[in-house]
Amino acid sequence: MPYANTRPSLYYERRGNGPPMLCITGFGISCAVFEPVLDLYSSRLDCIAYDNRGSGRTAAPLHTTSIPELAADGIALLDALEIGSAHVYGVSMGGVIAQELALRFPDRVRGLILGCTSPGGPLAARPTLRDLRRLGQPATRELLDPVDGWLAALLFSRPFRHQQPERVRALLELFTRRRPPLRGVSSHWWASFFHDTVSRLPQIQAPTLVLHGELDAMAPLANARMLAARIPDAELKIVRSAWHAYALERPAESFQLLCDWLDPLEPIAPGPPRTGALAAAEPLTRALGLPVGMARTGLSLVELARGRR
């Protein structure tokens, strides 16, 4: 099994030729979820997918992590593989990590692809109560057939689940394979809950593509619109009729949208490195990722309260 010489030792998989692309997965999920589409993407790109600390085959350290620390793990993997810069594609919580990576390490990012994600914090759009009620399923249904269960309802559209149930079952197995330890789940939850990039989105320098499923109820489409509006020159592409796992539900369409965006821009050079106090303070602010995230979350709460007056 390929493990990188990092701390913690990150499990990774690498496939393909072409410009390198770092693939960052979501909350508590191993990089196995990329398996169904890796052949497609690796036909054009050198894809590096890995398990975040606390998920899959990567150990969960004893201390609670933060999004800045998870972003630094991605850079450590590029260092271990001697890759100077790469396209960065983050999905769901991985998209939050990708935003932080682009903010902290602009010289390591070529193109930034943010899939089915949000900027986090109180200003991000949340599922409505109506969506949550519609998605909620009795636990007995999950036991009888996962296609009718809560996880499938969060990830895939109803037509896709009913028309291709066998494929849905195979895809769901990837999400539940190598379940994370409780310590990893807790660590990812706190990292996600106390992270907010809304105020810093205009600082992202990398050319950015925002990809989102049209009917995503887990991360509502309003989040994609916010990201595309606040990141300079970002482009929004919507995968029609798809839900949260748009890249698995509609793989060919999702891949084509990426290629249509990427091809006119290639080759994309990485951004300039951070300098001065910002660069020198990066390891410190990374270590203080959770308390800094709490402070940013509090400021967004104040902004939200003022906006509702």
Task: Give the integer Cα–Cα distance in Å for 291 and 64.
Answer: 12
Cβ(52)–Cβ(34) below 8 Å: no
Q: What are phi and psi of 207, to 5 degrees?
A: -55, 130
Residue by residue, DSSP assigns 49-96 as EEPPTTSTTS---SS---HHHHHHHHHHHHHHTT---EEEEEETHHHH
d(CA 114, CA 86): 14
102: tokens are 């682009």
Q: Which CA distances in Å does 234 have to 56, 89, 262?
A: 31, 14, 12
Residue 175: enclosing H or E segment and its boundaries?
Answer: helix 165-176
Query: What are the C-alpha distances in Å from 100 to residues 186, 272, 289?
Result: 20, 16, 11
The owner of tokens 């692309």 is 21
Helix (H) or strand (E) holding 236: strand 235-239
> Looking at this protein, which amino acid is placed at residue 124?
A
pLDDT of residue 133: 56
The domain ranges of the chain are 12-129+179-307
CATH superfamily of 12-129+179-307: Alpha/Beta hydrolase fold, catalytic domain (3.40.50.1820)
Antiparallel, parallel or unpaired: β 46-50 and 12-15: antiparallel
CA-to-CA distance for 199 and 231, rounded, in angstroms?
10
As a dihedral over the C-alpha atoms of residue 215, residue 220, residue 225, residue 231, rounded to 10 degrees, the angle is -130
Distance CA 159, CA 166 (A): 13
> pLDDT tens per residue, the chain (309 residues)?
699 999 999 999 999 999 999 999 999 999 999 999 999 999 999 999 999 999 999 998 888 899 999 999 999 999 999 999 999 999 999 999 999 999 999 999 999 999 999 999 998 988 765 665 555 544 444 445 678 788 898 899 999 999 999 999 999 999 988 888 889 999 999 999 999 999 999 999 999 999 999 999 889 999 999 999 999 999 999 999 999 999 999 999 999 999 999 999 999 999 999 988 878 888 888 888 888 888 898 888 888 788 765
**Confidence at residue 110, expressed as pLDDT on a 0 to 100 scale:** 98
**Is the backbone peptide bond immediately before 8 cis, with ω within 30 degrees of 0?**
yes
Q: What is the pTM of this model?
A: 0.93
Dihedral over alpha carbons 57, 61, 62, 67 (to 10 degrees): -110
Please give the structure tokens belonging to residue 96: 């939050």
> What's the pLDDT tens digit per position in 141-178?
444 567 878 889 889 999 999 999 999 999 999 998 88
Residue 300: per-residue pLDDT: 87
Q: Residue 139 has what pLDDT? A: 44
The H or E element spanning position 203 is none
